[in-house]
Amino acid sequence: MGKNKVNKIIAIYLISIFSLLSNISIAKDTFERGNLKDVINFYQITANIGTGGQPTISQFSKISEAGYSVVINLAMHNSNNAIAEEGEVVSSLGMEYAHIPVPFEAPTSIHLKKFFDLMDSFDGKKIFVHCAVNARASVFMHKYLTLQKRLPFERSISPYLNQWLPTMDSNWRRMMEMEWEEIK
């Protein structure tokens, strides 16, 4: 084999390796930008819906970069780590923002109905639902997915909710037991 042919093969091989490394770097960068593991109790429950606890201001940027176009907040204004200007922060990142303040000690079917209507209004969009620690968000999301979207129990429960179920107080147990007729 001639020296020129060997050099061509080596050049093609090196170009292929650099191309592969470049693609890996791009994929890694995309993954890191879209990685929301630092958000408290983050869980991607469906392809278009993620839930979590209260994000920081910088985490809202990551949520936007991950392709979410809607943020729904179920925490109270005075919840732990609440961000007073959250709606403005989210809107400045090009996402829509909605807030349904759900008192942790007194969730009602009215809150759940508002949540169902809101979720339906954003159907087809990538939605991030949060509260303070992903308790309210996990219950509301579970009820929405089982009652409204008819997903099985196992596919609509987050690891956080599964962990919380045995110690849940009577207010939240009541929410978990609500049937369709009680919400509409």
- List, for residues 105-141, the tens digit of each pLDDT value: 999 999 999 999 999 999 999 999 999 999 999 999 9
Instruction: Tell me, yes or no, whether 76 and 154 share the same domain.
Output: yes
Contact predicate 180/147, CB 8 Å: yes
Instruction: Tell me, yes or no, whether 100 and 17 share the same domain.
Output: no
Query: Of 65, 121, 66, 124, nearest to 98 (Cα)?
Result: 121
CA atoms within 13 A on the CB side of 20: 6
Residue 11 has pLDDT above 50, yes or no: no
As to burial, measured by CB atoms within 10 angstroms (0-12 exposed, 13-18 middle, 19+ buried), residue 85 is exposed
- In tens, the pLDDT along 58-100 reads 999 999 999 999 999 999 999 989 999 999 999 999 999 999 9
What's the CATH number where 109 sits? 3.90.190.10
For 23, the domain range is 1-34
Residue 24 has pLDDT above 50, yes or no: no
Structure tokens at 182: 């009680």
Place of tokens 């943020």: 71
Query: Of 155, 151, 158, 114, nearest to 133 (Cα)?
Result: 158
Handedness of CA 29, 30, 33, 37 (dihedral sign): negative
Q: Could you report how far apart the first and last alpha carbons of the chain are, in Å? A: 79
Instruction: Tell me, yes or no, whether 44 and 28 share the same domain.
Output: no
Instruction: Tell me, yes or no, whether 39 and 93 share the same domain.
Output: yes
- For residue 45, the SS3 value is strand
Structure tokens at 119: 């979720």
Helix (H) or strand (E) holding 181: helix 180-183
Q: Give residue 2's pLDDT.
A: 60
Residue 20 has pLDDT above 80, yes or no: no
Task: Specify the pTM.
Answer: 0.81
Instruction: Tell me, yes or no, whether 19 and 92 share the same domain.
Output: no
Q: What is the mean pLDDT of the chain?
A: 87
For the chain, how many structural domains are there in total?
Answer: 2
DSSP 131: -
Q: Give residue 17's pLDDT.
A: 45
Instruction: Tell me, yes or no, whether 134 and 106 share the same domain.
Output: yes
Instruction: Compute the distance between CA of residue 15 and CA of residue 20 in angstroms, rounded to an integer.
Output: 9
